[in-house]
Amino acid sequence: MARSVSSRKKSVRHPLHHAFRRQFLIPALLLVFVFLSGTFGFYIMGEGRWSLFDCAYMTSLTLTTVGYGEILPAFDTQGRVLAMILMWAGMAFVLYAISSITAFIVEQKLSRILRERKMEKRISALKNHLIVCGGGHTGFNVLRELTVSGHSCVYIEIKPERLEWISNQFEKQHFILGDATEEETLIRAGIKRASGILAVLGEDSYNLLITVQARYINPEIKIVARCNENNLTDKFYRAGANYVVNPSFIGGMRMASEMIRPHIVSFLDRMLRGNDPTIRVEEVTVMAQSPWVGRSLKEVDIHGLTGLVPISVKHLEESDFTYNPCLDEVLRPLTVIVVIGNHEQLSKLRKYCEGEHCTLP
């Protein structure tokens, strides 16, 4: 695990920022340094006979190799020696700076940096969002479902070409180029303000490291981790994961279910990932400030207020769900209600459960 994680950390942390510094900022500073060196060199050599402007003008003529034939008054041998040094050394610096800066602009790295800065400002304004940590096809499908369900997400990807492709598929979401196993990248993604994180990288060691760091940075965050090896499941839970998903196990269960209960599978597919994005099975938590706390399902009349029918409830202190709850079921703080409905209905339900300016009739 240590060897695998260390090899991943060899990747560049901020490639665009490093490219900007290497191909734009450093050459520009070298150019300024050569210009100032030439200007003050002539000024010191002239012992006050030439003004700084004249010295800067002479330096510009020398570095640009224009050579108008203008020479400073009383330009002696020492001045010519400095001019020759400046010509040859300065020309090398100027050519290097111009070629590097031009290459940087031509390769559109500057525009990518500006887009990255704009994206980071958008991410800094997010709250209670979800973070998806790479994962190839799995991460893509996770992001697609979260987008369809109307959740704000930050997607972290280490491969620039893949991030470019995914960002074109989900233009309304947020993206970061970086290594999701690094704490700095998670902080840039707003993990301190996020409500959940999904670690769906291909290697269990990476997902385990993300789980540990996410739990350390934000003790309240919900963590869903991908685990390919069943014998590592307990380690993920001990590291702080709330839920651990084994794609191979789920795939096997799905294939068996298709054979022995195909209609149920079709129904669940319709509810969980059907072509109609408006209908979904969702869970909503009754918060302590909700006007429904301490009242029965009959009293609150969820169907009358939202058009939804609870198919299951789960109280905080209980390990099992109550399916098809009776109307006498009393709602408590942090009771989870499972329903099937569209975005509008679910939005109404969340407002009542969260107590957002809602009062019972």
Q: Do 211 and 333 belong to one domain?
A: no
Q: Do 341 and 322 belong to one domain?
A: yes
Q: Do 241 and 118 belong to one domain?
A: yes
Q: Do 124 and 224 belong to one domain?
A: yes
> Has residue 135 been placed in a domain?
yes
C-alpha 38/C-alpha 32 separation (Å) is 10
Q: Do 321 and 202 belong to one domain?
A: no
SS3 assignment, position 197 = strand
pLDDT per residue as tens, the chain (361 positions): 444 444 444 443 455 566 667 667 777 788 788 788 888 887 887 777 778 887 787 777 777 666 656 565 655 566 666 666 666 566 666 777 777 777 666 665 666 677 778 888 888 888 999 999 987 888 888 888 888 878 899 999 988 888 888 888 888 889 998 899 999 999 999 999 999 999 999 899 999 999 999 999 999 999 999 998 888 899 999 999 999 999 888 888 888 988 998 888 887 777 766 556 567 788 899 998 999 999 999 999 999 999 999 999 999 888 889 999 999 999 999 999 999 888 888 888 999 998 865 555 5
Work out the number of other CB atoms within 10 angstroms of the CB of residue 281: 15
Chain position carrying tokens 């006007």:
291
Q: What is the DSSP letter of 329?
A: P
In the sheet with 243-245, reading across from the earlier edge strand, the strands are 174-177, 153-157, 130-133, 196-199, 222-226, 243-245
DSSP β-ladder status, 174-177 and 196-199: unpaired
Q: Do 118 and 171 belong to one domain?
A: yes
Q: Which domain holds residue 340?
A: 278-354
Domain harbouring 215, CATH code: 3.40.50.720
> Has residue 265 been placed in a domain?
no
Domain harbouring 25, CATH code: 1.10.287.70
> Has residue 84 been placed in a domain?
yes
> Has residue 293 been placed in a domain?
yes
Q: Do 119 and 209 belong to one domain?
A: yes
